[in-house]
Amino acid sequence: MINLDLHDIRKSFYNYNRDNNQITIEFPFLNKDSIVLDLGGYKGDWASDIYSKYLCNIEVFEPIPKFYNNIKKRFINNSKIKSFNIGAYSTNTDIDMILDKDGSSIYKQSNSNIVETNCKFKSILDICSDYDTIDLIKLNVEGSEYDILPVLLNSDMINNVKSLLIQFHEISSTNHLKYRNKIIKSIHDIGFKDYFIFPYVWESFIKKDIPIDKLVPNCKLKGFKIKKGKIK
């Protein structure tokens, strides 16, 4: 049995961020010409932070109209951050979503009964086909990563992607840990290496030919210990 204490993992993640730079925007190979896809924009905070650091070109995909409208207004004067009222998925489709702030999802994960009907979703392959090179894809899509990533990883399109930033989620209706591990194995097999790993918080992978070291020791699913905010 795998010993997974998400409370400790989250604690170690936030302690690291407190004592160091904000790890989710530490991608030093990015620059003003880089292309970054933000899948699951919510309020646009991450897009704003990584733009402020690298001045890169960012395309934000957010399927919920209310969130999308706020993002659009936020960056209306920034020509390098574009927003789309579309979510990423395995296929082109319309899906009803359960609204729960930053936990809004196509999966029922909370007590919320508020539904946004007919949200627009675009195939991850169609999204990626618009770019010759994608320097970073960030996915925070509340469970849809288990639908999106296998499609992307099994296509030639992944060859155009330099790095991934993923938040995996606990989805009660799926064997999420099995799917997560299978996806990560595929990521490694394709030619990515671990950049940083905080399971079910944030996990990042970069192509092996990018000359950069891991920022922190990997947080293991089994047998890890927390001591003074650091992973041992």
- pTM reported for the whole predicted model: 0.84
Domain ranges of the chain: 6-231
Closest to 62 measured CA to CA, from 87, 37, 80? 87
Residue 230: per-residue pLDDT: 35
Residue 222: per-residue pLDDT: 43
Residue 102: per-residue pLDDT: 59
Residue 108: per-residue pLDDT: 59
Rg (CA), the chain: 17
Is the alpha carbon torsion for 44, 47, 50, 51 positive or negative? negative
- The residue whose two tokens read 């003003």 is 32
Q: How many CB atoms lie within 10 A of CB 181?
A: 15
Phi first, then psi, for residue 90 (nearest 5°) are -75, -25
Residue ranges in the chain whose pLDDT is less than 70: 1-7, 17-21, 99-117, 172-174, 213-232
Token pair for 108: 């029922």
Burial status of residue 99 (CB atoms within 10 A of its CB: 0-12, 13-18, 19 or more) = middle
Which CATH number is associated with domain 6-231?
Answer: 3.40.50.150
Cβ partners under 8 Å of residue 177, min gap 6: 2, 4
